[in-house]
Amino acid sequence: MNPAVKKWLDKSREELDAIYSDAEPGEIPTGDTRGTAILAGSWLSRTVAALARLFAWQGKLFDIYAPACQAGVLVNKITPFSLTFVVAKVYRDKSWLDGKDTIVIDYSSTSFFAKVIRDEIREVEPGVYLGKVWWGKRRILDFALARPNQG
């Protein structure tokens, strides 16, 4: 696991929000990323992250098809076999957290099951992204994405 992501597992929601707010959006990722679910502020955070990776969600696979437009698509890697399901559009927009530029992962028109979900990510260090998960307008979870060579 990436060292920064490992540290995030011990942070409170407020500390993660500050890290996110201080970061720039960075480049929209391309290719494979390894995901880590973060249950901020909980002593169970490391256990939840391990169980989520083992049984539910391993990350996202980005495929930029229009770099000039800074937009693309992705699929989530789920199940212990990293099957690719749950497609989303990826683009730049304003964050619901702080109104600054961010990378949005939007499921509203691509997934029946996840259409109320919106993810936002920012690149905190090269190849390492901190994300926020929204269910409607309610924030429910934090997560990290790291390119494979970044941990």
Give the whole-angstrom CA distance, residue 2 versus residue 126: 11
Q: What are the percentages of helix, strand and coil residues in the chain, rounded to 5?
A: 20, 45, 30
The domain containing residue 86 runs over which residues?
3-150
Strands 101-106 and 138-146: what pairing?
Answer: unpaired
**DSSP helix/strand/coil, 19:** helix
Give the tokens for residue 141: 């979870």
Give the whole-angstrom CA distance, residue 60 versus residue 39: 18
* Global pTM value: 0.88
H-helix segments, the chain = 3-8, 13-22, 45-55
CATH number, domain of 109, equals 2.40.128
Neighbours of 80 (CB within 10 A): 10
| Count: domains in the chain | 1
Contact partners, residue 80, CB within 8 Å, separation at least 6: 54, 55
pLDDT tens, residue order, the chain (151 aa): 888 999 999 999 999 999 999 999 999 998 999 999 998 878 778 778 877 777 778 889 998 655 555 678 888 888 776 767 788 999 999 999 999 999 999 998 888 788 899 999 999 999 999 999 999 999 999 999 998 875 5
